[in-house]
Amino acid sequence: QLQLQESGPGLVRPSETLTLTCTVSGGSISSNRYYWGWIRQPPGKGLEWIGSIYYNGNTYYTPSLKSRVAISVDTSKNQFSVNLNSVTAADTALYYCVRRPGTLYHYIDVWGKGTTVTVSS
């Protein structure tokens, strides 16, 4: 059964870059079916789509974060990562890594447990 596990620092200073990694187990990240993505949830608030990456490296970002975000994949480690630069307190959130089942499927079928990131000096 496919599992996703987020990892990264729980505390990031304002104006610095947030980097999170998602380790995929129970399946290959190189499969030509799936999209791998990130979603966040600020404390007490709703979900926000961040972006995704296809197995071929194509990336797609939500317009509001496009200038600050980058998602990459490391097939040798079966991992994908998100970098968000110039962070502010508004980037404090629970970050989930997720899987979208394919080009014709527009939903999330696998979620990580999430990792909390706090932006504070």
Partner 1 sequence: QSALTQPPSASGSPGQSVTISCTGTSSDVGNYNYVSWYQQHPGKAPKLMISEVSKRPSGVPDRFSGSKSGNTASLTVSGLQAEDEADYYCSSYAGSNNYVFGSGTKVTVL
Asked if 105 is part of the footprint of partner 1 (rule: CB under 8 A), the reply reads yes
Number of residues that bind partner 1 (CB under 8 A): 23
| Member of 21, 27, 33, 48 binding partner 1 (CB under 8 A) | 48
Sequence-ordered list of residues with C-beta below 8 angstroms from that of 45, at least 6 positions apart, any chain = none
Distances (CA, A) of 74 to 28, 65, 80, 106, 108: 11, 22, 6, 24, 21
Q: Which of 1, 46, 76, 90 binds partner 1 (CB under 8 A)?
A: 46
Per CB under 8 A, residues contacting partner 1 are 35, 39, 45-49, 52, 60-64, 96, 105-109, 111-114
